[in-house]
Amino acid sequence: MLAGELYRPDAELAADHTAAEHWMARYNAAGASSAGELHALLSERFRKVGKAAVIRPPFFCDYGSNISLGDGVFLNFNCVILDVVTVVIGDRTQIGPAVQIYTADHPRDAETRRAGLEFGRPIRIGSDVWIGGGAIILPGVTIGDGALVGAGSVVTRDVASGTIVAGNPARPRAS
């Protein structure tokens, strides 16, 4: 799965996902907790949680164990990260409410999909990025340092450092 190769969800993955669901129930019920308590909960599940990283509940993910957050990362309410492979978010990146980050992908031919096979493509979001509310980041995308993604955008391709993109599909815009 993590290598980006075709896989069929099995009992072990189902158990990992169930554990993540139990963790999400705890995390999402902890909305009134201190920043330190929320950070400790994130650290239980995520691969890496940088200093002063914040995710406002509710938050949803597939596993959590494939997510790495840099220092000072902020995700607003109702974000979704489908982390069947790695998702790395760099330092000081700000992500608006209801942003969806999808690493999960599916074969293009119906026969392979029908066989229950799927795969994932990693997502890397650089440092000092701002992603506006409701944006969707598709599998395999890299967003460079200092980039800005407009609210509601659908990011289908890599975004170069310092670039502003917006729209569906997201395209470069003048600053």
Per-residue pLDDT tens over the stretch 113-148: 999 999 999 999 999 999 999 999 999 999 999 999
Does residue 88 have a pLDDT over 80?
Answer: yes
Residue 43, token pair as written in the block: 């650290």
- Say what the pLDDT of residue 1 is: 65
Average pLDDT over all residues of the chain: 95
Does residue 166 have a pLDDT over 80?
Answer: yes
- Say what the pLDDT of residue 5 is: 84
**Confidence grade of residue 10 (pLDDT, cut at 50, 70, 90):** confident
Residue 130, token pair as written in the block: 């701002």
Residues whose CB falls within 8 Å of the CB of residue 58, separated by 6 or more in sequence, listed in order: 24, 28, 31, 77, 78
Report percent pLDDT > 90 for the chain. 89
Question: What backbone phi and psi angles, to 5 degrees, belong to 60?
Answer: -135, 140
Does residue 2 have a pLDDT over 70?
Answer: no
For this structure, is 22 an active site residue? no
Closest CA to 57 of 88, 29, 37: 29
Alpha-carbon distance of 38 to 105, in angstroms, equals 30
Alpha-carbon distance of 162 to 175, in angstroms, equals 10
Single pTM value for the model:
0.95
CATH superfamily of 11-172: Hexapeptide repeat proteins (2.160.10.10)
**Confidence grade of residue 171 (pLDDT, cut at 50, 70, 90):** very high
The single residue of 17, 22, 39, 106 carrying the catalytic annotation is 106
For the chain, domain boundaries: 11-172
